[in-house]
Structure 1
Amino acid sequence: MPPPIPDLADAALVWAVFLLAGAIKGITGFGLPTIALGVLALTRSLPDAMALVLLPAFATNVWQALAGGALWPTLRRLWSFALAAAVGTWFGVGVLARSDAALLSGLLGLLLVGASCLALLGPQWRPPAPRRERWLHPVMGGASGLLAGLTGSFLMPAAPWLAALRLPPAQFVQGFGLGVVAVTLPLGAGLARHGMLALESGLTALAGLAPAFLGMAAGQRLRTRLPELWFRRAVQGALLALGLYLAARAFAP
């Protein structure tokens, strides 16, 4: 039997999605998995979209976690957060395998809405005291990992939590990258264990590496030229609209 003819329209969509998501990540330091998942979930099931995002998310966040010169201070402060996130992700994937993918796509939509509202309204959380921070790290990491296992998005409550710590910019960017690396490995292993990681998805994800890195490099160059506040608001507004659509599509009668 001859190999299937590739869907050029779908390939073009994947390329465009990862180029855009990579550019946004280059400017803001996060958002590639969330944005890519939100758009890809419009045309395929959430587990399929998660499989496509795994490799580009892992590769770009390894780069982000290693670059910047603050890896060891970040590891010393956030190791328990990252470890708990990895454990929470493994359990989240187990729940995903037994759940309705359409409902989980709606959950992703609600998470996008919540994250966008937090970013747009800009609540100022006070930094926790050092003693509270130590025991809150695994709590926040575990919750973030559990939601990442269910939806593929490591945005809530990881991003607000790291922002509340008032980390230096280099540590915030590298800490978020470290967290995504920590959840991507158990996410991929869990999807494979439950038979949700097809070879075709892996090959398509490999094709998404180039546009993700190109977009990220362009975003990093643009970071110093664009009004970042305006750009972040535009991105969060788009994510809010996308989240509302996903949630409405999943929960509408």
Structure 2
Amino acid sequence: MYDISGIFIITLTFLVAGTVKGVIGLGLPTISLAILTVIFGLPEGMALLIVPSFLTNLWQALSGGYTSIILRRLYIFLLAAACSVFLGASIFMQVDPSSLSTFLGVLLMVYGLVNLANFSFLLNSRQVIVLAPLAGALNGIFTGMTGSMVVPGVMFLQALGLHRDMLVQAMGMLFTLSTGVLALAMYEGSLLTLELGAMSSLGLVPALVGMALGQRIRKSLSEAVFRRVFFLSNLLIGAYIIVSNQLAY
């Protein structure tokens, strides 16, 4: 059972992560996973993000009006991303969690560095056909191994040249599918218990409150500045996870 301090940490984490998502339209799974992994460890962090991540991203996935267009263009990518989560989860069951925590730190640092450097490229239609199943499969494997759903999937989506609203909806669809399959894989592996499910559900309300707060903040804050702070936070938290795991050996 979680004590009062544990419940407070979970509530505060999803309040912060929801606020980030409200301001820039993304970041709830990433920031909540990073914080929860530092405090509770990777397996618990992955389980605790399930309910808030799934439901908030489901709303994002169903908003925007581009569902049919995205599915026609990206069904191979999304299918590969969903199916390969089970492979990543099977690796997770067999590997030392501290090693996977280090790998999560690497993914967070890569995600932060790529975006801070404004590194971008566009794929042509032939490259998309070749890379869609590969990017999807890698994203799913990394999701199953670490709970992180952004590398390389988000970078692939950014390279398609989608306009902002379509990109946000496509990311919502990717995160919803990934979270749903991750929940199934963790439940099958007895890593998602009733207690963890209940505690994850507890995070939904603060996540929604944070999103509403973030949308209000967004009107008076430079989104560009906030995005840089967000990606810098990913970089620093990733580095902290790596260093703390190495010092633990």
Q: Give the CA deviation at 1:134.
A: 2.1
Per-residue deviation, 1:230: 0.6
Aligned equivalent of 1:177: 172
- Equivalent residue, structure 2, for 1:227: 222
Within the candidate set 54, 69, 84, 1:88 is matched to 84
Structure 2 residue identity aligned to 1:65: A
**CA-to-aligned-CA distance 1:88-128 (integer Å, 9 cap, x gap):** 11110010011111111111111111111111111121x21
* RMSD of aligned Cα (Å): 1.3
Q: Give, in whole Å, the separation in 1 of the partners of 2:28 and 2:147.
A: 11
Match of 1:236 among 206, 231, 239: 231
Q: What's the counterpart of residue 75 of structure 2?
A: 79
2:38 alignment partner, SS class: coil
SS in 1 for 2:107: helix
Deviation at 1:224, TM superposition (A): 3.9
8 A Cα contact 2:24 2:226, kept in partner:
no
1:135 aligns with 130
> Cα 1:111–1:74, aligned 2, differ >3 Å: closer, same or farther?
same
Superposed CA offset, 1:9-67 (max 9, x none): 11111111101111111222221111111111112121111110011100000000011
Q: Please state if 1:249 is matched with 2:236.
A: no
Letter in structure 2 aligned against 1:82: L
Which residue type is aligned with residue 189 of structure 1?
L
- Once the two structures are TM-superposed, the CA of residue 240 in structure 1 deviates from its matched residue by 1.1
CA distance, structure 1, for counterparts of residue 165 and residue 219 of structure 2: 15
TM-score normalized with structure 2 length: 0.95
Partner of 2:116: 120
Find the aligned partners of 1:181 and 1:90 in 2 and give their Cα distance. 15
Match of residue 21 from structure 1: 17
Per-residue deviation, 1:131? 2.1
Instruction: Assess if the C-alpha contact under 8 Å between 2:85 and 2:181 holds in 1.
Output: yes
Equivalent of 1:210, from 197, 205, 223?
205
Q: How many matched pairs? A: 248
CA offset digits 1:208-237 (Å, max 9, x no partner): 010111112222343343211111111111
Measured in 2, the distance between the counterparts of 1:68 and 1:128 equals 23
Q: What is the letter of the counterpart of residue 19 of structure 1? A: L
Distance 2:119 2:209 in 1: 33
Using the size of structure 1 for normalisation, the TM-score is: 0.94
Aligned mates of 1:194, 1:54 — CA distance in 2: 15
Q: What amino acid maps onto 2:198 in structure 1?
A: L
Identity of aligned residues (%): 36
SS of 2:39 mapped into structure 1? coil
Superposed CA deviations along residues 131-186 of structure 1, whole A, max 9, x for unmatched, are 22123111111111110111101011112111111101111000001001111122
CA separation in 2, counterparts of 1:194 and 1:233?
Answer: 37
Please list every run of 5 or more consecutive structure 1 residues that lacks an aligned counterpart in the other structure.
Answer: none
